[in-house]
Chain A
Amino acid sequence: MTNILLGYQPLFDLFLLHLGMAYSQWLVLRAGVFSLATAGLAAVGAYTGGILVVSLGFPAPVALLLAGLAGGIVALGLSIPLARLRGVYQAIATVAFIQIVLSLNIYASGLTGGPQGLNGIPKTVGTVTLLIAGILTVYLMYTITNSRLGRAFDAIRQNEAVAASLGVSIVRHQTLAFIISGALAGVYGALEAFHSYALAPSQFGFTFLISILAYVVLGGRNTIIGPIVGTAILLLLPEIARPLAEARMLVYGLLLILVINYLPHGIADTLIERARARRLSARLAKSDSVATTATRN
């Protein structure tokens, strides 16, 4: 029994790492920023953390914080040109940003190890650390969602003119969402570095970007549960049906197309919406029947 569970531990670790990245993506989308920069910001965090520990001998916890800071600062810089763009142009600009990060990685080989990657990172992060990080992340996403910030993000995403007419500063809130998303990506990038001995530049490329986006779109963009459901399904699926593992990206692609067509709000969001609709119509029916019995008496 314990052996079986232990067998799944690497998968659980991967789930927790990718969940954090998924929340980084989820948060910007929630604020109406069509950014795909999470992969690039995770690379910034991973390499910041790795270099600080390997070349400069920083303790891992300090390096982790600095990696989060680096992710947030780079996001702040990136938010300036991004604020002038909307929709698909934001997506294109952030993909270009990922390209820049990946090529800088190769050029600065003295610092990053270049195409060979960064090796010899001491493994300081295990399942327990990741679990704590995961719980903290979900907590933060919950508090942000239920605060004035979350309400402002929701309004901006749905209608910028309405948000502005109610006093919401669009640039300030989108920048803030982007910084938090960047810090989160930076921290999780470093967690990944400290969890896996080595970093390769290709690790944060196109495949990674699509996976992260798929978790959010498949699970749901407007509920906290969304990324958990999406990440769990997409990581478990290839494990349950082994032959699918070979064609992971093909499966992701097909699933995405299916979900976008039939459950455009994602699996978790759609189920939650339906449950809510049932509960509300039941309540309505009950108050109606109360009203009719009242008139009958």
Chain B
Amino acid sequence: MSLTLQNVSKRFGGVVASDSVNITVPKGKITGLIGPNGAGKTTIVNMITGMLAVSDGQISVGGRDITHASADEICRARLARTFQNIRILPDNSVLENILIGFHRHEKCSTLAAILGLPSARRESEKIVKMAEELLQRFGMSALADFPAGGLSYGHQRKLEMMRALASEPEFMLLDEPIAGMNDVESDSLAELFQELASTGMGILLIEHNIRFVSKLCEYIYVLDGGRLIAEGAPTVVLRDPEVMAAYIGGEHA
């Protein structure tokens, strides 16, 4: 089972942000997606998660076509994401930010929720417990009651990851998850990503830090100007002349 993009394109008026892109994200592995600024990486994630309409091509997960599904349906198809420009809920506490991640699993009836019946209360208590376990796993238990808007960058990124994990995805799309973190923090996240992959999760990792990507991924894709210019094992791909040129900014700048 995998997440696949077949000839996926996106045009913004005249700008081609994505040009017939083919990507496969298998389960149980971390797949890298790199490319210079404006290459179209975030656009790919936005299309997969239903936040941008796909102009052409097909996206499917485990054989199921999700090309034109809505964002909330795609979450229920077990895809989750984090955002490059951090999007936490600033009015809510850290704990509450994670609770909303469990939304997909909350099954009590609307009437039970409105009337505060025991079934609804039990469900709320259960997800509070699960959220606390996630906080513990990320070493942020002490921050549970703090307003999320006041957290440091690194903590906000981790909070987004906990929230995404709460939905129990089979595929996780991480858009520059270690931007603004120090080496200690990013190393501990590297371990976490490997652990998640080893439990069967498929991860698409977008990252500018080449060292980080080469360490975690067996397979990477390189985008430039909306077009895939290379793919394969990091050691091979990173020596590709076209890739080097794209990064140095030579002929593609």
Contacts and interface: CB of A to CB of B under 8 A. Distances in A.
Interface of A: 139-140, 142-144, 146-149, 151-152, 154-155, 157-159, 161-170, 176, 180, 222, 273, 276-277, 280, 287
A252 B92 CA distance: 29
A148 B91 contact: no
Contacts of B145: 276, 280
A99 B92 CA distance: 36
Interface in B74-115: 75-76, 80-81, 83, 87-92, 96, 99-101, 103-104, 106, 108, 110, 113-115
B27 interface: no
Interface of B: 49-51, 70-72, 75-76, 80-81, 83, 87-92, 96, 99-101, 103-104, 106, 108, 110, 113-116, 120, 123-124, 142, 145-147, 163-164, 167
Given A152-B103, A155-B89, A158-B89, A167 B76 contact: yes
Contact of A166 (B70, B100, B120): B100
Given A165-B71, A167-B103, 4 more contacts: A139-B116, A152-B100, A167-B167, A276-B147
Nearest to A273: B147
A205 to B, nearest CB: 30
B144 to A, nearest CB: 10
A144 B115 CA distance: 7
A146 B124 contact: yes
Nearest to B82: A165
Contacts of A273: 147
B114 A161 contact: no
A147 B100 contact: no
A169 B96 contact: no
A154 B100 contact: yes
A164 B89 contact: no
A169 B146 CA distance: 27
Nearest to A139: B116
B72 A161 contact: no
A166 B113 contact: no
Nearest to A161: B51
Contacts of A162: 83, 87-89, 100
A149 B103 CA distance: 9
Contacts of B113: 143-144, 147-149
Contacts of B70: 164
Given A155-B89, A155-B100, A280 B146 contact: yes
26 contacts: A142-B116, A143-B115, A144-B114, A147-B113, A148-B120, A151-B96, A151-B100, A152-B100, A154-B96, A154-B100, A158-B90, A159-B87, A162-B100, A164-B75, A165-B51, A165-B71, A166-B75, A166-B101, A167-B75, A167-B76, A167-B167, A168-B72, A169-B72, A180-B114, A273-B147, A276-B147
B108 A148 contact: yes
Contacts of B71: 161, 164-165
